[in-house]
Structure 1
Amino acid sequence: MRQRGSSMGRYRTPTVLAAASLLLTALCAGQAPAAAPPGRVDIDPVVAEQLDEAITAAMRKADIPGVGVGLWIDGEDPYVRAFGTSDKATGVPIKTDMHTRIGSVTKTFAITGVLQLVDDGKVRLDAPISTYLDGVPGGERITVRQLADMRSGLYNYTEDPRWQATFKADPPRSWTPQQLLDIAFKHPANFPPGARWEYSNTNTILLGLLVEKVAGQPLHTYLEQNVFEPAGLDATSLPTGAEIASPFVHGYTNFTPDGATVDASTWNPSWGWAAGAMISDLSDLRSWAKTLATGTLLTPATQAQRLDVVDALPGTGYGLGIFNVQGWIGHNGSLPGYGSLVLYLPEAKATLVVLLNTDIGYQGQEPSTLVGEAITKIVTPDRVYTLPAQQDS
């Protein structure tokens, strides 16, 4: 199928994304600012203007309707901006408090749920998934860990041509997790468990079902009680249908039968479920980036296992539902109409969140990749976010 960019959050063939960060240094009254750490540029009005120009230039290049950006460092003034429109039909500007679909950033929440159950002694990372769930082909050889770090070998259901055609023909359709697995399991495994790394949404659908089976409640309920509420996330949810709370950003995609660009904001994301159906906003994702990277909701031992990455792409490691690219920890997301980056740099206590209302690629790159690279070239020149573009196939 057509593959317009490399992204861990892609509903097309996903690979990996990394991203960026920014460090802000405040000016003390009557004093010169402290020197920035090596490789980092402090954000003064001149640099902020450079960022504005770089982001808007990327938007023009890739025809991105709207972007929300947040860059933070503890104790400093933030750089928070919104550029462009949230609704091309009305011209309403995009705002930083709008709800948006976050695609595969959802995986970070679902797998946090799994790891909490590990901490509770109810799940073992190196146990086969057949210990908890029946009906997984080769499930006695695929561990929970291999599902979480994308080494199971299971076919990615969103690569199935018939599924793609069905989805394009009927975007409002509701999908159950079992229907998605049935599609995946019609295909043989791509490789033996543990043989290599390959991103597959099928893995996280299984982990969502694992949470439901072990916790004895729906995934969205478990996440509300054990992840969203403890993390203080008021605008974050896993919808059960196509609903999205107002105000929301309209998202634009050409993942359609004829390639026409349409508004996908009311499409049903149930096809992504634990792998990509969640909703959030800039403020919540700022908080979540640090919670995720520092392991606030997990024991230190489990967080250490989460961050123990396997090789994914050059310069990129993938852990348990989380990536690390040259120190940047987090995840990206992409689904029809939307793109996202949620990242944290622990050594500098720096956070970057980028939210876009398109998934339409530019010269083989994800639009979020283009924006992330533009930002990091300015603010972290020694840690520029790069991701090789993939050719159509």
Structure 2
Amino acid sequence: MPFTRTTFTARRALPACAAALLLVLAGAGTTPAAPPPGTATVAAAPVPDRAEPDPQAALDAGTVARLDAAITAVMKEAGIPGVSVGLWIPGRGAYVSSFGVADRRDGAPLKPDMYSRIGSVTKTFTVTAVLQLVDRGLVGLDDPIAKYVDGVPGGEHVTVRQLAAMRSGLPDYTSDPKFLDALRADPHRAFTPRQLLGYAFAHPPDFAPNARWEYSNTNTVLLGLLVEKVSGQSLAAHLRERVFAPLGLDSTSLPTGSAFPDPHPQGYTTFSPDGSVVTATDWNPSWAWAAGAVVSDLEDLRAWVPALVDGRLLEPATQAERLRTAPVGVPGVGYGLGIARVDGWLGHNGELPGYETIAAGLPGSGVTLVVLVNSDIDRGGSLSTLVGRAVTRIATPEHVWNLPSPSQVGGDRR
């Protein structure tokens, strides 16, 4: 299949709602009980405010040609149906392009102005909301989660900070076989946050709080419940008011159902009872909720990344706490409070049935990278990482986005 390239065309903002989840980093390594001396705390310089891309401010033709060729080659090798890539480098220019198809049935091309389910990039929004409550004096980072959410095993010893840093020891509900069976049997069903926690709490803790790092979506679901308890709002409404609206993220939302705003691509997955390829486009994202159910688009993520990296919605001291990234057992990779560090990049990736995402920036430089893929059918590595690595090897060779293959949905979806 030839991969057609589509460059940016402006679109009016549509009301966003709708879906997604999951994972990020693979390989839960053993780390010290607290970030060791010298742990990276990155001070990020302010990044220019969001503006519509200037078609005349493209990267140089040679770099564009190399990026086109590299992305096309990865798509062919990995069987990627479609991918949108945004790369903004102050002083050099922008690269905003889509390749391949949004729908294999009719061959409709993928376009840069389409919405996407962004999976675990959602965690960056949820944790930001928690940290804003910290700034307002309504929550303490070292408060036990039991102060805000009842029914958590050992909750009097698990802190808000440990939940945000993936160091609580609480099992990941998406690794529970009963949860996986239920989701696979009916991906359109609605889950409540308490139902999700029930799957997790059916198992003993994986380790004592703060003993090491381990990625768990359970952590972020608990933080979503904390936000609701303290704010008196639904998480969707609170994010809209406190995180999305202040930055003008009009195309970003946390859905309460399976609605998916147009235009959007089909999302292809093998998370099905028999392992066949199906579309997950209209599956209910309630199983992801605070951990991965946000919908966004390329332009909103372009605006979000600089705000995430420079902490413009947080007090400086709180942002400094967020960026105390500790090792996760993978060379060059660390994790802070709802944010990852990957060879100098700060941000997050996401993976859920049908969609993969990268949203990251280089602190102090204003460089922003967004990758949106409409498949999670990985062949030898995360599709978004394959694209992100190919792009950064060319554009920022001193900082290459390179993550190990992420866990499959729920830990083992194949």
User: Under a length normalisation based on structure 2, what TM-score does the superposition of the two structures give?
Assistant: 0.84
Quote the offset at 1:165 in angstroms: 1.2
Secondary structure at the residue paired with 1:361?
A: coil
Describe the shift of the 1:215–1:294 C-alpha distance in structure 2 as closer, same or farther (beyond 3 A): same
The answer to whether structure 1 residue 264 and structure 2 residue 300 are counterparts is: no
Secondary structure at the residue paired with 2:324?
A: coil
Equivalent of residue 264 in structure 2, options 233, 239, 248: 248
The CA distance in 1 between the partners of 2:287 and 2:113, in whole Å, is 26
The CA distance in 2 between the partners of 1:391 and 1:344, in whole Å, is 23
Which position in structure 2 is the counterpart of 1:348? 365
5+ long unaligned stretches in structure 2? 1-20, 29-57
Q: Give a deviation string over 1:203-233, Cα, whole Å, max 9, x none.
A: 0000000000000010000000000000110
Quote the offset at 1:88 in angstroms: 0.9
Q: Give a deviation string over 1:165-204, Cα, whole Å, max 9, x none.
A: 1111101010000000011000000000000000000000
Equivalent of residue 156 in structure 1, options 146, 151, 172: 172
Quote the offset at 1:388 in angstroms: 3.0
User: Under a length normalisation based on structure 1, what TM-score does the superposition of the two structures give?
Assistant: 0.88
5+ long unaligned stretches in structure 1? 1-8, 17-41
Matched length: 359
Quote the offset at 1:341 in angstroms: 0.2
Quote the offset at 1:347 in angstroms: 2.7
The CA distance in 2 between the partners of 1:215 and 1:75, in whole Å, is 41
Which position in structure 1 is the counterpart of 2:41? none
Equivalent of residue 132 in structure 1, options 148, 154, 159: 148
Quote the offset at 1:73 in angstroms: 2.2
Which position in structure 2 is the counterpart of 1:58? 74
Secondary structure at the residue paired with 1:358?
A: coil
Q: Is 1:174–1:268's contact at 8 Å kept on the other side of the alignment? A: yes
The residue identity in structure 1 corresponding to 2:156 is E
Q: Is 2:103–2:109's contact at 8 Å kept on the other side of the alignment? A: yes
Secondary structure at the residue paired with 1:109?
A: helix
The CA distance in 2 between the partners of 1:47 and 1:12, in whole Å, is 29
Matches within 5 A, 1:65-214: 65-74=81-90, 76-214=92-230
The CA distance in 2 between the partners of 1:388 and 1:75, in whole Å, is 31
Q: Give a deviation string over 1:319-347, Cα, whole Å, max 9, x none.
A: 00001122210000110000000011023
Quote the offset at 1:348 in angstroms: 1.8
The CA distance in 2 between the partners of 1:252 and 1:186, in whole Å, is 31
Describe the shift of the 1:14–1:215 C-alpha distance in structure 2 as closer, same or farther (beyond 3 A): farther
The answer to whether structure 1 residue 217 and structure 2 residue 244 are counterparts is: no
The answer to whether structure 1 residue 322 and structure 2 residue 339 are counterparts is: yes
Equivalent of residue 283 in structure 1, options 287, 290, 299: 299
The CA distance in 2 between the partners of 1:373 and 1:77, in whole Å, is 19
The CA distance in 2 between the partners of 1:118 and 1:107, in whole Å, is 16
**Which moves more between the two structures, 72-81 or 107-116?**
72-81
Secondary structure at the residue paired with 1:347?
A: coil
The residue identity in structure 2 corresponding to 1:331 is H
Describe the shift of the 1:74–1:13 C-alpha distance in structure 2 as closer, same or farther (beyond 3 A): closer
The residue identity in structure 1 corresponding to 2:394 is I
The residue identity in structure 2 corresponding to 1:335 is L
Please provide the CA RMSD for this pair.
1.7
